[in-house]
Amino acid sequence: MADDQQRNTASAFPAPPPFYSHFTLENQAKLKEFQAQEASGNDETNVGENASSQQQLPPELVCLIPPKPPTEGQYRSFGDTWNIPDRLPTLKELNIPQLFPEPSGESYNVDRAQELRRLCKSLLLNYLELVGIMGMSPEEFEEKVYHLRIHLINIHQLINEYRPHQARETLIAMMEEQLEKSKQETEENRKACAKIKDMMAGLSSYNANGLLVDSDQSTEEEKKEAAIAKASEGTKGDEKKDGASWEALSQAGLL
Amino acid sequence: MADRLTQLQDAIDQLATIFYCALRYVGTHHDFVPTHTEQKVRDETLQPDPPALFRSSQQELARDLVLKTKQIEVLIASLPGIGVSEDDQKERLKELGRELEKAEEERKKSIREKEELLVEFDEVVRSLKRV
């Protein structure tokens, strides 16, 4: 059985786990019933009681309750082993010599760009040595190839360790952009508001001069309004007038 | 476009590929040079390139190698946030968060103001028509 399971998890297309056949509609209904009973049965359930009542479940129902996610150790997925919590394994854990200095303290204080440059130069030099060795005594290639390998792994490790840093940097850039956008929108809104206020001030000054008293002058006012709106004169219907005012506003860049 | 770090990693992988290609080319396309009076060695598995072509190919491979290395150096120099410590970044993020909140509030205020003015303006226009 254990052997079977081992083979199952290692294959590219593993068969479903054997308990999948328990996931029937009846079983799910039964489980709901059970849980409802449990909830009504003991309102002040503590963890220990819960565990014991789970043991009373019929075996075919136990599988329906998903287990808690693991909080420590390792797990396997798609043939790879993953650590919990997920983090980059250090070179020491992989038994590969580390060619750059260990960071001290919380904040990463090694100059990574400098280290990367150093490693790249060293990589190139090692290659040159390898070429030299290939010309003199090709059978001694192994050591140099190993050096090249270690260098490449170290470079990649250094870059991968840099990723969180880059992620933060990207986040900062995005936030700056958003801030800029938000400020710009506020600015535009304010400009539009000022424009409206100007227009209204103009209108009320007409009003104060008593220009709006008789209907002749009101058409004059209407003309002005229409000129702002660049709408055709002679729209007298209420609906049309409404449209003109909206157009005027849209001209002011508000809609 | 991939981010800088991925670009850098790709470039380094390419450099390793160039390493391999260069050695392999030299290994499979070289000609033999007889020493003293010995006969020139032959190897059926090798197809030696003519000397001129061999020479120019070698040079091309070497140029590729140098170019790739230069490219890697440029990429390293342009890594984002170099010389900025993690604490600086965290501080900046907090500050940006505060600024964003403030800006968002301002933005909402300006939108409200705008909407109020819109209603007011609409009323003014309507009253004009009614007179």
**Can you spell out the DSSP letters for A143-160?**
HHHHHHHHHHHHHHHHHH
Min mean pLDDT across A17-21, A167-171, A203-207 is at A203-207
Instruction: Quote the pLDDT of residue B10.
Output: 92
Q: How far apart are CA B11 and CA B75, in angstroms?
A: 9
Q: Which residues of A125-139 are buried (b: 16+ CB within 10 A; e: fewer)?
A: ebbeebeebbeeeee
Closest to B79 measured CA to CA, from A70, A167, A103, A138: A167
Most confident of A34-38, A55-59, A194-198, B18-22: B18-22
Chain B: nearest CA to A186, how far in angstroms? Answer: 5
Mean pLDDT, chain A, rounded, equals 73
A198–B contact, CB cutoff 8 A: no
Q: Are A73 and A86 in contact (CB under 8 A)?
A: no
A178 — contact with chain B (CB < 8 Å)?
yes
Cβ contact, residue pair A238, B89, below 8 Å: no
> Of the candidates B49, B92, B74, which has an alpha carbon nearest to the alpha carbon of residue A113?
B74
Residues in Cβ contact with A1 at an 8 Å cutoff, skipping those fewer than 6 apart: none
Q: What's this model's pTM, rounded to 2 decimal places?
A: 0.60
- State the average pLDDT over residues A106-127: 79
Phi–psi pair at B70, nearest 5 degrees: -60, -45
Test the B interface: residue of A148, A172, A213, A215 with most B CBs within 10 Å? A172
For CA atoms B60, B65, B66, B67, the dihedral sign is: positive
Q: How far apart, in whole angstroms, are the C-alpha atoms of residue A210 and residue A208?
A: 5
Distance from CA of A199 to the nearest CA of B (A): 9
3-state secondary structure (DSSP) of residue A136: helix
The residues that bridge with A82 in the sheet, in sequence order, are A75
Give the whole-angstrom CA distance, residue A80 versus residue B45. 40
> CB contact, 8 Å: A128 with chain B?
no
Res A243 pLDDT > 90: no
Q: Name the nearest CA neighbour of B68 among B58, B60, B56.
A: B60
Checking if the pLDDT of A20 tops 80, the result is yes
| pLDDT for the residue A62 | 78
Q: Is the pLDDT of residue A214 over 80?
A: no
- A77 pairs with which residues across the strands? A80
Cβ separation B89–A172 shorter than 8 A: yes
> Which residue, among A110, A119, A165, would best test binding to B if mutated, counting the most B CBs under 10 Å from its CB?
A165
* Pairing verdict, β A73-77 and A80-84: antiparallel
Taking the domains of chain B in order of start, what are their residue ranges?
A: 1-82, 101-131
Tokens, residue A243: 């449209």
Which residue in the set A172, A190, A245 is minimally distant from B125, CB to CB?
A245
Q: How far is CA A192 from CA A195, A224, A241, A248, in A?
A: 5, 19, 21, 12
* Chain A environment of B110 (Cβ under 8 Å): 185-186, 189-190, 193
Mutation choice for A interface testing from B23, B125, B126, B130 by most A CBs within 10 A: B125
Opening angle at CA A144, ends A139 and A145, nearest 5? 90
**A-chain residue closest to B83, CA distance:** A111
Q: What pLDDT sits at residue A33?
A: 84
Q: How many CA atoms lie within 13 A of A132 on its CB side?
A: 8
- Which of residues 23 through 62 in chain B touch A, CB cutoff 8 A? 23, 27
Give chain B's residues under pLDDT 70.
1-2, 81-83, 129-131
Residues 6 or more apart in contact with residue A247 via CB below 8 angstroms? A229, A230, A231
Both structure tokens of A24: 């029937």
Spell out a b/e string for A48-64, using b for 16 or more CB atoms within 10 Å of the CB, else e: eeeeebeeebeebbebb
C-alpha span between A182 and B26 (Å, rounded): 60
Query: Chain A residues with CB inside 8 Å of B93's CB?
Result: 168, 171-172, 175
**Domain residue ranges of chain A, discontinuous segments joined by +:** 2-84, 109-209, 210-255
Output the six-digit token pair for A40. 């009504």
CA distance A166 to chain B (A): 6
- Residue A197, token pair as written in the block: 């206020």
